[in-house]
Amino acid sequence: MGCCSHCGEWNTVNEISREILPRTGIGIAGVGDAPSLAAARLGVAGLSETGLGLTGEVLTPGASITADSEPDRRPISIADVRVAEERYLETGIGELDRVMGGGFVEGSVTLVAGEPGIGKSTLFLQAIRSIALRGQSVLLVSAEESASQVTLRALRLGELPETLFVLDTRDVTGVAAYIREYQPSIVIVDSIQTMVDPSLSGMAGSINQVKACADLLIRIAKVTLIPFVIVGHVTKDGTLAGPKVLEHMVDTVLVVEGDRHHALRSVSAIKHRFGAVGETGLFCMGSTGMVAVDDPYDMLLGDRPAPSVPGSVVFPMARGGRPLLVEIQALASKSSQSTPRRIAKSVDAGRFTILLAILENHVNIQSDGFDQYVSAVGGIKVYEPAGDLAILLAMASALRLVPFPFDTVAIGEVGLAGEIRRVPYLEERVTEARRLGFKRAILPASSEIDVDGIEVIPVSNIRDATSVLDNSRTEGFQLVSCG
Protein backbone atom coordinates (compact mmCIF):
# COMPACT_ATOMS: atom_id res chain seq x y z
CA MET A 1 0.00 0.00 0.00
CA GLY A 2 1.84 3.09 -1.19
CA CYS A 3 -0.69 5.81 -0.41
CA CYS A 4 -2.44 6.20 2.94
CA SER A 5 -6.19 6.03 2.40
CA HIS A 6 -6.76 8.32 5.36
CA CYS A 7 -4.35 11.23 4.91
CA GLY A 8 -3.46 10.76 1.27
CA GLU A 9 0.30 10.84 2.00
CA TRP A 10 2.68 8.43 0.27
CA ASN A 11 5.00 5.94 1.99
CA THR A 12 3.62 6.68 5.42
CA VAL A 13 2.06 3.27 6.00
CA ASN A 14 4.13 0.68 7.88
CA GLU A 15 3.53 -3.01 7.79
CA ILE A 16 2.92 -4.70 11.13
CA SER A 17 2.53 -8.34 11.87
CA ARG A 18 -0.79 -9.87 12.87
CA GLU A 19 0.76 -12.07 15.55
CA ILE A 20 1.75 -9.13 17.65
CA LEU A 21 -1.61 -7.38 17.67
CA PRO A 22 -2.48 -6.63 21.26
CA ARG A 23 -5.43 -8.42 22.68
CA THR A 24 -7.06 -5.16 23.59
CA GLY A 25 -7.79 -2.25 21.34
CA ILE A 26 -5.20 0.32 20.61
CA GLY A 27 -2.43 2.22 22.20
CA ILE A 28 0.46 1.39 24.37
CA ALA A 29 -0.39 -2.28 24.71
CA GLY A 30 1.29 -4.44 22.12
CA VAL A 31 4.60 -3.89 23.80
CA GLY A 32 3.93 -6.08 26.78
CA ASP A 33 2.44 -8.78 24.63
CA ALA A 34 5.27 -8.82 22.18
CA PRO A 35 7.08 -12.12 22.14
CA SER A 36 10.46 -10.85 20.99
CA LEU A 37 12.60 -7.80 20.70
CA ALA A 38 11.77 -7.52 17.03
CA ALA A 39 8.10 -7.91 17.68
CA ALA A 40 8.16 -5.25 20.36
CA ARG A 41 9.86 -2.88 18.03
CA LEU A 42 7.43 -3.58 15.24
CA GLY A 43 4.33 -3.20 17.33
CA VAL A 44 5.66 0.04 18.62
CA ALA A 45 6.91 1.42 15.36
CA GLY A 46 3.58 0.59 13.80
CA LEU A 47 1.93 2.88 16.26
CA SER A 48 4.35 5.74 16.33
CA GLU A 49 5.12 6.09 12.66
CA THR A 50 1.91 5.36 10.85
CA GLY A 51 -0.42 7.27 13.08
CA LEU A 52 -2.80 4.35 12.68
CA GLY A 53 -4.00 2.35 15.63
CA LEU A 54 -3.62 -1.37 15.49
CA THR A 55 -7.29 -1.78 14.81
CA GLY A 56 -7.18 0.79 12.09
CA GLU A 57 -8.37 3.91 13.83
CA VAL A 58 -6.39 7.09 13.61
CA LEU A 59 -4.28 8.10 16.57
CA THR A 60 -3.39 11.62 17.41
CA PRO A 61 0.37 12.20 17.60
CA GLY A 62 0.30 12.44 21.38
CA ALA A 63 -1.39 9.11 21.73
CA SER A 64 1.44 7.12 20.21
CA ILE A 65 3.48 6.74 23.35
CA THR A 66 5.91 3.93 22.78
CA ALA A 67 8.60 1.93 24.47
CA ASP A 68 11.04 4.27 22.75
CA SER A 69 9.80 7.37 24.41
CA GLU A 70 11.48 7.41 27.78
CA PRO A 71 9.38 9.43 30.21
CA ASP A 72 12.34 10.34 32.46
CA ARG A 73 14.19 12.03 29.60
CA ARG A 74 14.26 15.81 29.81
CA PRO A 75 16.11 18.39 27.74
CA ILE A 76 19.57 19.11 29.14
CA SER A 77 21.75 22.14 28.58
CA ILE A 78 24.45 21.22 26.11
CA ALA A 79 27.02 22.53 28.59
CA ASP A 80 25.99 19.84 31.10
CA VAL A 81 26.10 16.85 28.77
CA ARG A 82 28.76 14.35 29.82
CA VAL A 83 30.67 13.34 26.76
CA ALA A 84 32.11 9.85 26.76
CA GLU A 85 35.31 9.48 24.80
CA GLU A 86 34.88 7.49 21.64
CA ARG A 87 36.77 4.24 21.69
CA TYR A 88 38.05 2.90 18.42
CA LEU A 89 38.52 -0.72 17.50
CA GLU A 90 41.45 -0.93 15.09
CA THR A 91 41.23 -3.62 12.46
CA GLY A 92 44.96 -3.63 11.84
CA ILE A 93 44.35 -2.99 8.13
CA GLY A 94 46.03 0.41 7.93
CA GLU A 95 44.23 1.76 4.86
CA LEU A 96 40.84 0.81 6.28
CA ASP A 97 41.56 2.23 9.74
CA ARG A 98 42.73 5.49 8.19
CA VAL A 99 39.52 5.89 6.18
CA MET A 100 37.58 5.21 9.39
CA GLY A 101 39.55 7.87 11.28
CA GLY A 102 41.33 5.30 13.45
CA GLY A 103 39.04 2.28 13.46
CA PHE A 104 35.46 1.35 14.25
CA VAL A 105 33.87 3.37 17.05
CA GLU A 106 32.11 1.31 19.73
CA GLY A 107 28.38 1.09 19.18
CA SER A 108 28.68 2.56 15.70
CA VAL A 109 27.03 1.11 12.63
CA THR A 110 28.86 1.18 9.32
CA LEU A 111 27.22 0.41 6.04
CA VAL A 112 29.56 -0.96 3.40
CA ALA A 113 28.23 -0.40 -0.09
CA GLY A 114 29.60 -1.70 -3.35
CA GLU A 115 28.77 -3.62 -6.48
CA PRO A 116 28.60 -7.41 -6.28
CA GLY A 117 32.01 -9.05 -6.56
CA ILE A 118 33.95 -5.89 -5.78
CA GLY A 119 35.50 -7.29 -2.61
CA LYS A 120 33.29 -6.25 0.33
CA SER A 121 33.08 -9.71 1.89
CA THR A 122 36.78 -10.33 1.32
CA LEU A 123 37.91 -7.05 2.85
CA PHE A 124 35.78 -7.42 5.95
CA LEU A 125 36.68 -11.06 6.41
CA GLN A 126 40.29 -9.88 6.38
CA ALA A 127 39.45 -7.14 8.87
CA ILE A 128 37.73 -9.40 11.41
CA ARG A 129 40.30 -12.12 10.90
CA SER A 130 42.97 -9.63 11.83
CA ILE A 131 41.04 -8.65 14.97
CA ALA A 132 40.43 -12.31 15.85
CA LEU A 133 44.13 -13.07 15.47
CA ARG A 134 44.68 -10.66 18.36
CA GLY A 135 42.58 -13.03 20.45
CA GLN A 136 39.35 -11.04 20.41
CA SER A 137 36.05 -12.69 19.63
CA VAL A 138 34.38 -11.56 16.38
CA LEU A 139 31.10 -12.61 14.79
CA LEU A 140 30.34 -12.86 11.09
CA VAL A 141 26.64 -13.20 10.34
CA SER A 142 26.74 -14.65 6.86
CA ALA A 143 23.39 -14.64 5.12
CA GLU A 144 24.79 -15.02 1.62
CA GLU A 145 27.43 -17.69 2.01
CA SER A 146 27.44 -20.87 4.04
CA ALA A 147 29.95 -21.32 6.85
CA SER A 148 32.01 -23.64 4.66
CA GLN A 149 32.14 -21.08 1.84
CA VAL A 150 33.32 -18.47 4.32
CA THR A 151 35.94 -20.90 5.64
CA LEU A 152 37.20 -21.64 2.14
CA ARG A 153 37.64 -17.94 1.54
CA ALA A 154 39.33 -17.50 4.93
CA LEU A 155 41.75 -20.33 4.09
CA ARG A 156 43.00 -18.28 1.13
CA LEU A 157 43.89 -15.54 3.57
CA GLY A 158 45.91 -17.69 5.96
CA GLU A 159 45.49 -19.46 9.30
CA LEU A 160 42.01 -19.71 10.78
CA PRO A 161 41.61 -17.91 14.10
CA GLU A 162 39.54 -19.80 16.68
CA THR A 163 37.79 -16.69 17.90
CA LEU A 164 36.24 -15.91 14.52
CA PHE A 165 32.68 -17.21 14.74
CA VAL A 166 30.47 -17.64 11.68
CA LEU A 167 26.70 -17.68 12.00
CA ASP A 168 25.12 -18.59 8.70
CA THR A 169 21.58 -17.45 9.08
CA ARG A 170 19.20 -15.15 7.34
CA ASP A 171 17.06 -14.54 10.41
CA VAL A 172 17.94 -11.18 11.90
CA THR A 173 16.06 -11.81 15.13
CA GLY A 174 18.47 -14.60 16.09
CA VAL A 175 21.53 -12.34 16.11
CA ALA A 176 20.94 -10.72 19.50
CA ALA A 177 21.02 -14.02 21.42
CA TYR A 178 24.42 -15.01 20.06
CA ILE A 179 25.88 -11.65 20.86
CA ARG A 180 25.14 -12.22 24.51
CA GLU A 181 26.76 -15.64 24.35
CA TYR A 182 29.86 -14.90 22.28
CA GLN A 183 30.58 -11.28 23.31
CA PRO A 184 32.16 -10.32 19.99
CA SER A 185 34.15 -7.12 19.74
CA ILE A 186 32.72 -6.49 16.26
CA VAL A 187 29.84 -7.95 14.24
CA ILE A 188 29.71 -8.11 10.44
CA VAL A 189 26.34 -8.73 8.77
CA ASP A 190 26.74 -9.83 5.15
CA SER A 191 24.45 -8.71 3.61
CA ILE A 192 21.48 -6.63 4.69
CA GLN A 193 19.63 -7.48 1.46
CA THR A 194 19.55 -11.17 2.39
CA MET A 195 18.49 -10.80 6.03
CA VAL A 196 14.87 -11.24 6.97
CA ASP A 197 12.69 -10.60 9.95
CA PRO A 198 10.35 -13.62 9.91
CA SER A 199 7.61 -11.71 11.72
CA LEU A 200 7.25 -9.52 8.64
CA SER A 201 5.99 -10.58 5.29
CA GLY A 202 7.92 -9.56 2.21
CA MET A 203 10.95 -11.03 0.55
CA ALA A 204 14.50 -10.47 1.69
CA GLY A 205 15.74 -7.29 0.06
CA SER A 206 12.34 -5.60 -0.01
CA ILE A 207 12.28 -2.09 1.37
CA ASN A 208 10.29 -3.20 4.38
CA GLN A 209 12.65 -6.03 5.28
CA VAL A 210 15.83 -4.04 4.70
CA LYS A 211 14.58 -1.20 6.86
CA ALA A 212 13.32 -3.44 9.66
CA CYS A 213 16.48 -5.57 9.76
CA ALA A 214 18.77 -2.54 9.75
CA ASP A 215 16.70 -0.92 12.45
CA LEU A 216 17.02 -3.95 14.71
CA LEU A 217 20.77 -4.28 14.13
CA ILE A 218 21.29 -0.59 14.88
CA ARG A 219 19.39 -0.95 18.14
CA ILE A 220 21.52 -3.90 19.14
CA ALA A 221 24.70 -1.95 18.36
CA LYS A 222 23.59 1.05 20.39
CA VAL A 223 22.60 -1.08 23.39
CA THR A 224 25.62 -3.40 23.40
CA LEU A 225 28.19 -0.79 22.27
CA ILE A 226 29.54 -3.31 19.78
CA PRO A 227 30.49 -1.85 16.38
CA PHE A 228 28.40 -3.34 13.59
CA VAL A 229 29.33 -3.46 9.94
CA ILE A 230 26.44 -4.03 7.58
CA VAL A 231 27.25 -4.99 4.00
CA GLY A 232 24.87 -3.70 1.33
CA HIS A 233 24.73 -4.07 -2.43
CA VAL A 234 24.43 -1.25 -4.89
CA THR A 235 22.32 -1.39 -7.99
CA LYS A 236 23.60 -0.93 -11.53
CA ASP A 237 23.25 2.85 -11.44
CA GLY A 238 25.46 2.96 -8.36
CA THR A 239 22.82 3.68 -5.73
CA LEU A 240 22.40 1.53 -2.69
CA ALA A 241 19.83 -1.20 -3.18
CA GLY A 242 17.12 -0.52 -0.64
CA PRO A 243 15.74 2.65 0.77
CA LYS A 244 17.83 5.79 0.92
CA VAL A 245 16.78 5.91 4.54
CA LEU A 246 19.33 3.17 5.24
CA GLU A 247 22.09 5.70 4.66
CA HIS A 248 20.42 8.07 7.10
CA MET A 249 20.07 5.40 9.76
CA VAL A 250 23.72 4.37 9.99
CA ASP A 251 26.69 6.34 11.36
CA THR A 252 29.06 5.71 8.50
CA VAL A 253 28.72 4.77 4.86
CA LEU A 254 31.79 3.20 3.30
CA VAL A 255 31.90 2.77 -0.44
CA VAL A 256 34.03 0.11 -2.10
CA GLU A 257 34.58 1.05 -5.72
CA GLY A 258 36.54 -0.13 -8.67
CA ASP A 259 36.17 -1.91 -11.93
CA ARG A 260 35.75 -5.66 -11.58
CA HIS A 261 38.04 -6.12 -14.55
CA HIS A 262 40.80 -4.09 -12.91
CA ALA A 263 42.63 -4.96 -9.73
CA LEU A 264 42.49 -1.50 -8.14
CA ARG A 265 39.82 -0.86 -5.49
CA SER A 266 39.17 2.27 -3.51
CA VAL A 267 37.47 2.40 -0.13
CA SER A 268 36.14 5.76 1.01
CA ALA A 269 33.65 7.13 3.52
CA ILE A 270 30.85 9.21 2.00
CA LYS A 271 29.25 9.74 5.40
CA HIS A 272 31.07 9.55 8.71
CA ARG A 273 29.66 10.76 12.01
CA PHE A 274 33.00 10.34 13.78
CA GLY A 275 35.42 12.02 11.42
CA ALA A 276 36.17 13.44 8.03
CA VAL A 277 34.77 12.03 4.82
CA GLY A 278 36.68 11.76 1.59
CA GLU A 279 39.70 9.83 2.91
CA THR A 280 40.46 7.02 0.52
CA GLY A 281 42.12 3.70 1.02
CA LEU A 282 43.53 2.00 -2.06
CA PHE A 283 43.67 -1.75 -2.41
CA CYS A 284 44.54 -4.26 -5.03
CA MET A 285 42.55 -7.49 -5.29
CA GLY A 286 45.07 -10.29 -5.41
CA SER A 287 45.19 -14.02 -4.84
CA THR A 288 45.30 -13.53 -1.06
CA GLY A 289 42.56 -10.95 -0.76
CA MET A 290 42.79 -7.17 -0.77
CA VAL A 291 46.31 -5.80 -0.44
CA ALA A 292 46.93 -2.14 0.42
CA VAL A 293 48.49 -0.17 -2.42
CA ASP A 294 51.09 2.45 -1.55
CA ASP A 295 51.97 3.64 -5.01
CA PRO A 296 49.07 3.25 -7.42
CA TYR A 297 50.68 5.29 -10.19
CA ASP A 298 52.24 2.38 -11.95
CA MET A 299 48.70 1.12 -12.47
CA LEU A 300 47.11 4.50 -13.12
CA LEU A 301 49.68 6.33 -15.25
CA GLY A 302 52.26 3.70 -16.13
CA ASP A 303 50.67 2.85 -19.48
CA ARG A 304 49.78 6.36 -20.53
CA PRO A 305 49.94 6.59 -24.31
CA ALA A 306 52.95 8.28 -25.90
CA PRO A 307 52.75 12.07 -25.90
CA SER A 308 51.27 12.45 -29.34
CA VAL A 309 47.82 10.98 -28.73
CA PRO A 310 44.89 13.41 -28.54
CA GLY A 311 42.23 13.01 -25.88
CA SER A 312 44.33 12.30 -22.79
CA VAL A 313 44.40 14.69 -19.81
CA VAL A 314 45.58 13.96 -16.27
CA PHE A 315 43.38 15.12 -13.40
CA PRO A 316 44.45 15.19 -9.75
CA MET A 317 41.43 14.02 -7.73
CA ALA A 318 41.25 15.32 -4.17
CA ARG A 319 39.91 12.35 -2.23
CA GLY A 320 39.75 14.11 1.12
CA GLY A 321 43.01 15.96 0.74
CA ARG A 322 44.95 12.88 -0.34
CA PRO A 323 45.22 13.50 -4.05
CA LEU A 324 45.23 10.80 -6.66
CA LEU A 325 46.16 11.50 -10.25
CA VAL A 326 44.01 9.76 -12.83
CA GLU A 327 44.07 9.90 -16.57
CA ILE A 328 40.90 11.00 -18.36
CA GLN A 329 40.64 9.72 -21.91
CA ALA A 330 38.25 10.88 -24.60
CA LEU A 331 37.60 9.69 -28.10
CA ALA A 332 35.50 11.15 -30.93
CA SER A 333 34.78 9.04 -33.96
CA LYS A 334 32.55 9.64 -36.97
CA SER A 335 29.12 8.30 -36.20
CA SER A 336 27.16 6.11 -38.54
CA GLN A 337 23.96 6.60 -36.57
CA SER A 338 21.41 9.37 -36.78
CA THR A 339 21.78 9.96 -33.04
CA PRO A 340 25.46 9.83 -32.14
CA ARG A 341 26.43 7.79 -29.10
CA ARG A 342 27.72 9.37 -25.92
CA ILE A 343 29.23 6.96 -23.46
CA ALA A 344 30.88 7.79 -20.15
CA LYS A 345 32.77 5.16 -18.17
CA SER A 346 33.79 5.89 -14.56
CA VAL A 347 32.69 9.47 -15.21
CA ASP A 348 29.26 10.94 -14.42
CA ALA A 349 27.27 10.52 -17.65
CA GLY A 350 24.94 13.46 -16.96
CA ARG A 351 27.86 15.73 -16.28
CA PHE A 352 29.55 14.56 -19.48
CA THR A 353 26.52 15.55 -21.57
CA ILE A 354 26.43 18.99 -19.94
CA LEU A 355 30.14 19.50 -20.60
CA LEU A 356 29.68 18.64 -24.27
CA ALA A 357 26.91 21.22 -24.53
CA ILE A 358 29.15 23.82 -22.87
CA LEU A 359 31.97 22.99 -25.26
CA GLU A 360 29.74 23.37 -28.29
CA ASN A 361 28.19 26.62 -27.08
CA HIS A 362 31.17 28.48 -25.74
CA VAL A 363 34.14 27.31 -27.78
CA ASN A 364 32.39 26.47 -30.98
CA ILE A 365 33.93 23.05 -31.31
CA GLN A 366 31.44 21.09 -33.34
CA SER A 367 30.72 17.62 -32.10
CA ASP A 368 27.79 16.96 -34.44
CA GLY A 369 28.05 13.64 -36.22
CA PHE A 370 30.62 12.23 -33.79
CA ASP A 371 30.20 9.37 -31.37
CA GLN A 372 31.87 10.53 -28.20
CA TYR A 373 33.36 8.49 -25.41
CA VAL A 374 35.02 9.45 -22.16
CA SER A 375 36.56 7.26 -19.52
CA ALA A 376 38.65 7.48 -16.37
CA VAL A 377 41.46 4.95 -16.59
CA GLY A 378 41.99 2.26 -13.97
CA GLY A 379 38.39 1.92 -12.79
CA ILE A 380 38.63 4.84 -10.34
CA LYS A 381 35.44 6.86 -10.52
CA VAL A 382 35.73 10.59 -11.21
CA TYR A 383 32.52 12.19 -9.99
CA GLU A 384 34.10 15.35 -8.55
CA PRO A 385 33.06 18.63 -10.22
CA ALA A 386 36.75 19.57 -10.08
CA GLY A 387 37.25 17.06 -12.87
CA ASP A 388 35.07 19.05 -15.30
CA LEU A 389 37.94 20.95 -16.87
CA ALA A 390 40.03 17.83 -17.48
CA ILE A 391 37.06 16.00 -19.05
CA LEU A 392 36.24 18.99 -21.20
CA LEU A 393 39.84 19.46 -22.34
CA ALA A 394 40.17 15.75 -23.12
CA MET A 395 37.04 15.99 -25.26
CA ALA A 396 38.21 19.17 -26.99
CA SER A 397 41.59 17.55 -27.64
CA ALA A 398 39.90 14.47 -29.11
CA LEU A 399 37.51 16.47 -31.32
CA ARG A 400 40.26 18.69 -32.64
CA LEU A 401 42.75 15.83 -32.91
CA VAL A 402 45.31 17.94 -31.06
CA PRO A 403 47.21 16.32 -28.18
CA PHE A 404 47.01 17.97 -24.77
CA PRO A 405 50.46 18.78 -23.29
CA PHE A 406 51.79 15.62 -21.70
CA ASP A 407 53.36 17.35 -18.70
CA THR A 408 50.26 19.34 -17.72
CA VAL A 409 47.36 18.66 -15.37
CA ALA A 410 43.98 20.42 -15.40
CA ILE A 411 41.78 21.15 -12.39
CA GLY A 412 38.55 23.17 -12.16
CA GLU A 413 34.78 23.07 -12.14
CA VAL A 414 33.11 24.37 -15.29
CA GLY A 415 29.91 26.43 -15.01
CA LEU A 416 27.15 26.55 -17.61
CA ALA A 417 28.36 29.98 -18.74
CA GLY A 418 31.73 28.44 -19.55
CA GLU A 419 33.44 29.96 -16.51
CA ILE A 420 36.06 27.99 -14.59
CA ARG A 421 35.24 27.88 -10.90
CA ARG A 422 37.50 27.27 -7.94
CA VAL A 423 37.59 23.91 -6.16
CA PRO A 424 38.93 22.68 -2.81
CA TYR A 425 42.38 21.17 -2.08
CA LEU A 426 44.08 22.94 -4.99
CA GLU A 427 47.44 23.19 -3.31
CA GLU A 428 47.49 19.52 -2.32
CA ARG A 429 46.52 18.45 -5.83
CA VAL A 430 49.16 20.61 -7.50
CA THR A 431 51.84 19.48 -5.04
CA GLU A 432 51.07 15.84 -5.82
CA ALA A 433 51.26 16.58 -9.57
CA ARG A 434 54.65 18.18 -9.04
CA ARG A 435 55.84 15.16 -7.04
CA LEU A 436 55.09 12.98 -10.05
CA GLY A 437 57.03 15.19 -12.42
CA PHE A 438 54.30 17.32 -13.97
CA LYS A 439 55.52 20.77 -15.00
CA ARG A 440 52.34 22.79 -15.47
CA ALA A 441 48.85 23.03 -14.02
CA ILE A 442 45.82 24.69 -15.61
CA LEU A 443 43.84 26.11 -12.70
CA PRO A 444 40.87 28.42 -12.05
CA ALA A 445 42.08 32.04 -12.28
CA SER A 446 40.19 32.93 -9.09
CA SER A 447 42.34 30.66 -6.93
CA GLU A 448 45.64 32.31 -6.30
CA ILE A 449 47.98 29.52 -5.49
CA ASP A 450 51.68 29.29 -5.92
CA VAL A 451 53.57 26.02 -5.72
CA ASP A 452 57.30 26.01 -6.31
CA GLY A 453 58.51 23.96 -9.22
CA ILE A 454 55.29 23.91 -11.21
CA GLU A 455 54.03 26.56 -13.58
CA VAL A 456 50.47 27.66 -12.95
CA ILE A 457 48.34 28.61 -15.95
CA PRO A 458 45.33 30.52 -14.61
CA VAL A 459 42.20 30.34 -16.78
CA SER A 460 38.86 32.02 -16.17
CA ASN A 461 36.80 30.48 -18.95
CA ILE A 462 36.93 27.47 -21.20
CA ARG A 463 37.96 29.53 -24.23
CA ASP A 464 41.20 30.42 -22.43
CA ALA A 465 41.59 26.83 -21.29
CA THR A 466 41.20 25.30 -24.74
CA SER A 467 43.72 27.79 -26.17
CA VAL A 468 46.34 25.63 -24.42
CA LEU A 469 45.67 23.19 -27.23
CA ASP A 470 46.59 25.82 -29.87
CA ASN A 471 49.99 26.32 -28.31
CA SER A 472 50.63 22.67 -27.67
CA ARG A 473 51.05 21.98 -31.38
CA THR A 474 54.42 23.65 -31.38
CA GLU A 475 55.64 22.60 -27.95
CA GLY A 476 57.73 19.59 -27.19
CA PHE A 477 56.51 17.10 -24.62
CA GLN A 478 58.31 15.71 -21.67
CA LEU A 479 57.69 12.27 -20.38
CA VAL A 480 56.46 12.14 -16.82
CA SER A 481 58.29 9.97 -14.38
CA CYS A 482 55.83 7.95 -12.34
CA GLY A 483 57.43 6.93 -9.13
Q: What is residue 81's DSSP assignment? A: P
In whole angstroms, how close is the CB of 116 to ligand TYD at the nearest point? 4
Residue 121 interacts with Mg ion (CB under 5 A)?
yes
Alpha carbons 120 and 193: distance in angstroms, whole number: 14
Which residues on neighbouring strands pair with residue 142, listed in sequence order?
A: 190
Which residue, 130 or 312, is less far from Mg ion as judged by CB? 130
444 touches 459 (CB < 8 A): yes
Please compute, for residue 305, the number of CA atoms within 13 A of its CA located in the half-sphere on the CB side. Answer: 13
Which residue, 117 or 369, is less far from ligand TYD as judged by CB? 117
Which residue, 121 or 173, is less far from Mg ion as judged by CB? 121
- The contacts of residue 78 (CB under 8 Å, 6+ apart) are none
231 φ/ψ angles, rounded to the nearest 5 degrees = -90, 135
Which residue, 114 or 378, is less far from Mg ion as judged by CB? 114
Among the residue ranges 70-78, 117-125, 133-141, 293-301, the one whose residues contact Mg ion (CB under 5 A): 117-125
Residue 434, binding choice from ligand TYD, Mg ion, none, Cβ under 5 to 8 Å by partner class: none
- The contacts of residue 161 (CB under 8 Å, 6+ apart) are 129, 132, 133
List the one residue out of 440, 392, 390 whose CA is nearest residue 416: 392
In whole angstroms, how close is the CB of 359 to ligand TYD at the nearest point? 37
Which residue, 285 or 430, is less far from ligand TYD as judged by CB? 285
In whole angstroms, how close is the CB of 205 to ligand TYD at the nearest point? 15
Among the residue ranges 72-80, 119-127, 399-407, 457-465, the one whose residues contact Mg ion (CB under 5 A): 119-127
In whole angstroms, how close is the CB of 100 to ligand TYD at the nearest point? 18
Query: Can you list the pairs that 358-361 forms with residues at least 24 positions away whose Cβ atoms lie under 8 Å?
Result: 358/392, 358/414, 358/416, 358/418, 358/462, 359/392, 359/395, 359/396, 359/399, 359/462, 361/418
In whole angstroms, how close is the CB of 336 to ligand TYD at the nearest point? 36
| Residue 426 burial (CB count, 10 A) | 23
Which residue, 149 or 335, is less far from ligand TYD as judged by CB? 149
Alpha carbons 394 and 448: distance in angstroms, whole number: 24
Tell me the three state secondary structure of residue 275: coil
104 φ/ψ angles, rounded to the nearest 5 degrees = -100, 120
In whole angstroms, how close is the CB of 28 to Mg ion at the nearest point? 41
Which residues on neighbouring strands pair with residue 111, listed in sequence order?
A: 230, 253
Residue 285, binding choice from Mg ion, ligand TYD, none, Cβ under 5 to 8 Å by partner class: ligand TYD
Q: Which residues bind ligand TYD (CB under 6 A)?
A: 114, 116-122, 153, 156, 285, 287-289
Residue 122, binding choice from ligand TYD, Mg ion, none, Cβ under 5 to 8 Å by partner class: ligand TYD
Which residue, 8 or 286, is less far from Mg ion as judged by CB? 286
Residue 289, binding choice from ligand TYD, Mg ion, none, Cβ under 5 to 8 Å by partner class: ligand TYD
In whole angstroms, how close is the CB of 347 to ligand TYD at the nearest point? 22
Among the residue ranges 121-129, 339-347, 389-397, 454-462, the one whose residues contact Mg ion (CB under 5 A): 121-129
Give one DSSP letter per residue of 133-201, joined into a string: TTT--EEEEESSS-HHHHHHHHHHHSSPPTTEEEE---BGGGHHHHHHHH--S-EEEE-GGG-B-TTS-
In whole angstroms, how close is the CB of 165 to ligand TYD at the nearest point? 19
Which residue, 108 or 121, is less far from Mg ion as judged by CB? 121
Residue 472, binding choice from Mg ion, ligand TYD, none, Cβ under 5 to 8 Å by partner class: none
Alpha carbons 252 and 230: distance in angstroms, whole number: 10
Residues of this chain that bind Mg ion (CB under 5 A): 121
